[in-house]
Structure 1
């Protein structure tokens, strides 16, 4: 299992002016949107991961995921040999997932609103930890009970190349570089677009070290 602690006392990231870039009909890249709350967000993340440590889950096909995962909120996403699903209980501890920190919920709500989706109240936050070489294959987020709410994604730490495709796996994909503090929101007609992450390149972020953390907020129940 990978350690979850971050160096919260390292030098701060350079100033980055938030800006909004449209990447689909109802999809937006919010550059630097989370930078203003990083000092509140990282300690809250450490608290969640102390209660629900990262683990490498196994897919229905029997493959161990290259990313370490955890969750917080009312529901957590899990995978094992029986399939993909949401659960109110952390299978590692047998206890409910940690409560979603208020800074998480408020940031996700604000990002969704900035992208044109009002009244977004996430009940699930999936936490993925990427080390250099880890990736996420193209997939659709379709394990939720309804698709009326958008997906809200936050990048922390090392840069990533985000693949944002169409509605079929073979459709052409945009390659979008994501930096620390960037957020992506997609919903409405774009809700079921395929997306993924290319293997993370070697590097060291001044605050998070040799890792990328991705928080994905959803309405799952």
Structure 2
């Protein structure tokens, strides 16, 4: 549950982490969200998670059910496309201006003066957000974000427990790939050559969230531009 009763142990103090570019077009900005921003986003996620059109488990066409639960904003994602109604038949919740503002700033900070060289970055107008909740022990297999009709960057915010995030290549789910530790407050943007890279969450690191967040598990907010008009 997003609103849980358990709390993780605080992380040990560590040296500041530096910006990195794990692949061409992919930029990791550690601690991009400060403590107040994280608290505001966790509170917003609790509101978005409430029904109707709230947090739900996704059933795949094969019949399996994803262990990660999610809620969509702006457009409802289903395997493999988007629509205006959620899994329970209710209208999808609107895309929040809060996330649009954050995502545009994230793209600008990630690419800086090179923003013009990344497809869709200079004119970035996101209209979709997918909030994923990872309970302890859940993961997400390697996949591509290919259901949009735009090649604009994907913006990813991490909240709560840390995770091992695998950023692969654009051709196959096999190597080469790079494993990254994403912590609460981290920003990951991937566009340009990395836009359609396979990626997933290998595991979450239970108990690594700051207890002040009041969050059990991990929240990931991905913001995208649909190109759907």
Instruction: Normalising by structure 2, report the TM-score.
Output: 0.83
Q: What's the offset of the Cα at 1:53?
A: 2.3
1:89 aligns with 2:85: yes
Name the SS for the 2:37 alignment partner.
Answer: helix
Q: Do the aligned partners of 2:2 and 2:216 also contact (CA within 8 Å) in 1?
A: no
Q: What's the offset of the Cα at 1:179?
A: 0.2
- Write out per-residue CA displacement over residues 5-58 of structure 1, whole angstroms, 9 at most, x where no aligned residue: 368xx9x99899685211111110011112252233222222211243211111
Name the SS for the 1:199 alignment partner.
Answer: strand
Name the SS for the 1:198 alignment partner.
Answer: strand
1:114 aligns with 2:109: yes
Q: Do the aligned partners of 2:165 and 2:179 also contact (CA within 8 Å) in 1?
A: yes
Task: Report the counterpart of residue 214 of structure 1 in structure 2.
Answer: 220
The higher-RCO structure (CA 8 Å, 6+ apart) is 2
Name the SS for the 2:82 alignment partner.
Answer: strand
The partner residue of 2:193 within 189, 195, 202 is 189
Task: Report the counterpart of residue 45 of structure 1 in structure 2.
Answer: 45
The partner residue of 1:153 within 150, 156, 179 is 156
1:69 aligns with 2:70: yes
Once the two structures are overlaid, the 10-residue window that deviates more, 23-32 or 99-108, is: 99-108
1:5 aligns with 2:8: no
Name the SS for the 1:66 alignment partner.
Answer: strand
Distance 1:120 1:61, change over 3 A: same
Q: What's the offset of the Cα at 1:130?
A: 0.4
* Distance in 2, Cα, partners of 1:31 & 1:182: 4
Distance 1:98 1:172, change over 3 A: same
Task: Report the counterpart of residue 203 of structure 1 in structure 2.
Answer: 207
Q: What's the offset of the Cα at 1:91?
A: 2.3
Q: Do the aligned partners of 2:3 and 2:216 also contact (CA within 8 Å) in 1?
A: no
Note the aligned Cα RMSD (angstroms): 2.5
The answer for unaligned runs of 5 or more in structure 1 is none
Once the two structures are overlaid, the 10-residue window that deviates more, 204-213 or 28-37, is: 204-213
Q: Do the aligned partners of 2:146 and 2:196 also contact (CA within 8 Å) in 1?
A: yes
The answer for unaligned runs of 5 or more in structure 2 is 112-120
Distance 1:215 1:120, change over 3 A: same
Instruction: Normalising by structure 1, report the TM-score.
Output: 0.85
Q: What's the offset of the Cα at 1:71?
A: 0.9
Q: For this pair of structures, how many residues does the alignment match?
A: 210
Distance 1:100 1:17, change over 3 A: farther
